[in-house]
A and B are shown apart, each in its own frame.
Chain A
């Protein structure tokens, strides 16, 4: 009994930390409609600023707290609202989620730029030296302060949202912005206040937690994953329930620590508990109402077969060119472009067509790589099939609880799955389930044999480069096939309006299950091929955090088109590392770029790939440009193969040729065909729709057949 009481107290003090973080999440969601993945990152930034003021510059405690919590945090919130979130009004849930992920990535990059990692920074505990004993444990001053703050925060927020006019206005604005403004609320001001408050809460959480944890950008930003379960228990709208959920979470962790038997296989369970709890809670949440039609600015045109085959051909051609011109070590480094492209491709049907959200892409890739590594002895191609099937089955299994849910719950469910895999399952040694022996990463890393088709082994970097580009091309053709089929139309219908689908009698359950399975299967194949390139895989290659930039850049590129997947692969594994090679400054910029691109999504939610394609329009319409390119590019390549010049000359030439062609073609035939936007005003309406001009008189005369009559018009 004494032990139970002791661990309950420990659990309560842990739960208090989660309560503050989760309250901030719920507040932001209830008042802005956006689930802020970057909540922890904002707290992290405030914590760093606090450290800088209190420890580095040795300012008084009250001043440092005041400036970081009441000046910096609200300013950050106001900035985020005005500059980023306002522009996201009529975009889908996915876009808004991805923008907050972009913010997360960008803030981490910013913090690492300003405060160089690798240096030990510490904030001492508050009220250190003060404690009081309770049961068999002691509650320190810091823990007491945390609990007190958590209770105060929860209470005051609840009262604020319920009883004050501003609080009610905040909730109204999320519900229906137009109606709220008609009733006298000021939506812009209210949402700015909401963001400011949310960020201040994040800052409070960050500063309170920082004495326990190392002051490290990534660590602090991602601790928040633990608190998701608490926010979900509160249904993302009830603050008292969130508080309760946080306490349950803290106590669960404490009991698992104190009571769980110390066996090697269960040691990771405590770490995975928040994620597993999240999953269980999602299972019992009542079904959400079927979504009606949402106005959104996203629009993805139907891809044409000819365009797709040209695209696939270009991909394979570029794979061959890279394979024949890059050195072995460069082929290893840049071969990952297409592998990551395949992972990004798996998101296109799921997120782009069907509008579902999955954050577990890399986990499925890891499962596929494991399957290929263990079952593909000698590189058996049949194992590649299994690397599709087994992750697909797991994907369908994970989708089952998600069937009733949508949007953010689905995203969090997949995040919970990914985190549970990272922290527990992937770290397990071999085990048996009945007669089946399951072997994972074997406590370190596992070997993956190169693919071997009828004796031809893809065991050199250049062969692997060709293999992965062919795989990407084939899979992108398959994805386009999905888009153009009846199944694809069903997916788009589901994305557009689930309520309408149900009215028409479409089977949403089957559709959701199959699209999840398809996406997981493609990830699995991508993971298997990535595994053959790495030759030796470990859990760190497939963790949850690494999947976020893939989703981010695919949406930035254009989640509804296979070109967006290639964009993600090229930027993540090609452009960013190349930038980093230029020096420390550019490496820092490279760290910020994905974040900046993500937050800029509001301007162009369709992604950049359409703009890029539009840029190439002139070439397509101007025959001589195509012929010129068809001659120049192979010629440049052949000259390189003959050794006339090296890569330093070859690659700039290769990149410049299409650019030159585009410029030339644009000069010859003009830019993208503009559809006329200004309609001709009918003669009868001249002078009514627009102010009367002299030229209108001349037009009238000409139309009436009256020539050269001048009538003076009064000025």
Chain B
């Protein structure tokens, strides 16, 4: 119902910060990124992408070996929420990446000769379960998708043994679910803490005066709790733990004043760009400066600057995707932007989720190709994990991901927001722009719920063909 949209609008925007990669729908960088062509590979009909050769190409794979697979075609589904009436176009980039990839791949010959047919499944925030039931009828696998309320469909997905090479996941049920390969793993038992470590080193005076803020939504509260555990493991002391009204605060003065009166120096923020901008305006209004604010990847978004203007300061956004500002130095990112321009010029290319979804598609294509004539669900999942291994970068699009063990990545980079845009501070990068060090990942001790398993629906891995 239309009045549900209000709360759901907020949830969608905030809940997406749950993921190590979040959601971003607007242009994230200055306009010159992507227009100056570098030495990157330009699009050809070749099926190579970034550092990977032969992602797509002709071949002679045959056999109707599974639901949705025929001699000539593989039918897959991509889920997203752009039809939600309260926020039209929400996560449209998932559909866009699906369209761009499949057009490019089919033009290059398909996956080992089979063409890809993609069903764009619009879950409109409240219809995830219905879309999963549809996919269960027709599709071989879900690829490169994600929905805000993905808890409601996991049991149905497992009952019909539908694998998912996910672009992103949100709920605990999905984060720990079986038959899933997340291309940017966001598990329940590990947490990346490299950025907290860096903040502790850079701002030692702030360590004992840290605050944690999130919206009044249970899902973001969970993520905030995980962030607190991670931060405290690195020596931070969280002395202020509060919620703001996810629907909207009439004024940020009380929270800003509390931050000032407690002498807070650093804030762990789990929310969305517009509210963070309002908080920063509130802090500027009372003339109080923080040492740092740490926000999730969904804050790599021009909305921060548009809303906050001159008040944006000392805001560090965690990122694992190669920034669009430097696309000319990274062939994979440049090729990604070129493919978007070629196959879907009206779409917004410079989004986080778009890149992540694209990486999921590449992984899917390579795994399906490796399976060849024996393309089944179990082969797909096994090959994805084997090919993904522990250093999957999607051809160079993002930091190295541990696909095989589905654990959090050791790599991170930070983007520093200022009133004009984003810059890259020095984070002791040792792998192009990323800092990948042992010890950047923490094994969590708290109980953050568990995912949906095959046993929950009365099935086992042997049922998977």
Interface residues of A (CB under 8 A from B): 3, 6-7, 10-11, 13-14, 17-18, 105, 108-109, 112, 116-118, 120, 122, 124-125, 131, 133, 136-138, 140, 143, 209, 212-214, 216, 218-220, 222-223, 226, 253-254, 257-258, 262-264, 267-268, 270-271, 327-330, 332-333, 423, 426-427, 441-445, 461, 534-536, 538-540, 543, 545-546, 548-549, 572, 576, 580, 584, 587, 590-591, 594
Contacts and interface: CB of A to CB of B under 8 A. Distances in A.
Given A120-B274, A122-B306, A443-B221, A131 B285 contact: yes
Given A257-B242, A540-B8, A222 B247 contact: yes
Contacts of B156: 535
Contacts of A257: 242, 254-255, 257-258
Contacts of A109: 2
A138 B283 CA distance: 10
Given A226-B250, A333-B130, A6 B274 contact: no
A549 B3 contact: yes
B261 interface: yes
Contacts of B285: 125, 131, 138, 140
Contacts of B245: 271, 423
Interface string B100-133: 0000000000000000000000000001011111
A394 to B, nearest CB: 20
B152 interface: yes
Contacts of A223: 247-248, 250
25 contacts: A120-B26, A131-B287, A136-B261, A137-B257, A137-B286, A138-B285, A143-B251, A212-B250, A212-B278, A258-B258, A262-B240, A264-B241, A268-B243, A271-B244, A329-B133, A427-B218, A427-B243, A534-B129, A535-B152, A536-B152, A536-B154, A538-B149, A545-B3, A546-B7, A594-B2
A574 to B, nearest CB: 12
Given A109-B2, A536-B151, 17 more contacts: A7-B254, A17-B250, A118-B90, A120-B26, A212-B251, A214-B278, A216-B6, A218-B6, A223-B248, A270-B242, A329-B129, A427-B217, A443-B225, A539-B218, A543-B7, A549-B2, A591-B2
Contact of B3 (A214, A329, A548): A548
A327 B137 CA distance: 10
Given A329-B134, A548-B3, A213 B249 contact: yes
Q: Label chain B's interface by main secondary structure.
A: helix
A262 B152 CA distance: 32
B1 A576 contact: yes
Contact of B307 (A116, A120, A426, A538): A120
A258 B260 CA distance: 10
Contact of B171 (A13, A116, A445): A445
B254 A258 contact: yes
A566 B274 CA distance: 40
Nearest to A441: B218
Interface in B210-242: 216-219, 221-222, 225, 239-242
Interface stretch (B80-88, B409-417, B418-426): B80-88
Contact of B85 (A549, A572, A580): A580
Contact of A10 (B8, B127, B253): B253
Contacts of B149: 538
Contact of B252 (A7, A212, A590): A212
Nearest to B3: A545
B86 A117 contact: yes
Contacts of A226: 250
Chain A CB within 10 A, most for which of B241, B251, B258, B281: B251
Nearest to A3: B261
Contacts of B303: 120
Contacts of A105: 2-3
B172 interface: yes
A480 to B, nearest CB: 27
Contact of B6 (A122, A262, A545): A545
Contact of A118 (B1, B89, B173, B287): B89
B88 A117 contact: yes
A540 B171 CA distance: 14
Contacts of B248: 213-214, 216, 219-220, 222-223
B10 to A, nearest CB: 8
A108 B242 contact: no
A124 B310 CA distance: 11
B384 interface: no
B155 interface: yes
Contact of B151 (A10, A13, A445, A576): A445
Contacts of B152: 445, 534-536
A108 B89 CA distance: 19
Contact of B9 (A218, A426, A536): A218
Interface of B: 1-9, 11, 25-26, 85-90, 127, 129-134, 136-137, 149, 151-152, 154-156, 171-173, 216-219, 221-222, 225, 239-245, 247-255, 257-258, 260-261, 274-275, 278, 281, 285-287, 303, 306-307, 309, 449
A213 B250 contact: yes
Contact of B87 (A6, A118, A219, A461): A118
Contacts of A548: 3
The 3 A-B residue pairs with the shortest CB-CB distance in the complex, in nearest-first order? A218-B6, A219-B248, A329-B133
Nearest to A209: B250
Contacts of A536: 151-152, 154-155, 171, 173
A686 to B, nearest CB: 59
A530 to B, nearest CB: 12
B455 to A, nearest CB: 14
Contact of B2 (A108, A137, A268, A329): A108
Contacts of B252: 212
Given A218-B6, A257-B254, A262-B240, A591 B85 contact: yes
Nearest to B86: A117
A14 B225 CA distance: 29
A222 B6 contact: yes
A444 B130 contact: no
B87 A427 contact: no
B2 A538 contact: no
B151 A443 contact: no
Contact of B306 (A120, A445, A594): A120
Contacts of A212: 249-252, 278
A612 to B, nearest CB: 21
Contact of B130 (A14, A222, A268, A332): A332
A427 B221 contact: yes
Contacts of A534: 129, 152
Contacts of B278: 212-214
A275 to B, nearest CB: 12
A546 B4 contact: yes
A262 B228 CA distance: 13
B89 A423 contact: no
A117 B87 contact: yes
Contacts of A254: 253-254, 257
A444 B133 contact: no
A589 to B, nearest CB: 11
A254 B261 CA distance: 12
Contacts of B9: 117, 216, 218
A507 B26 CA distance: 62
B34 to A, nearest CB: 22
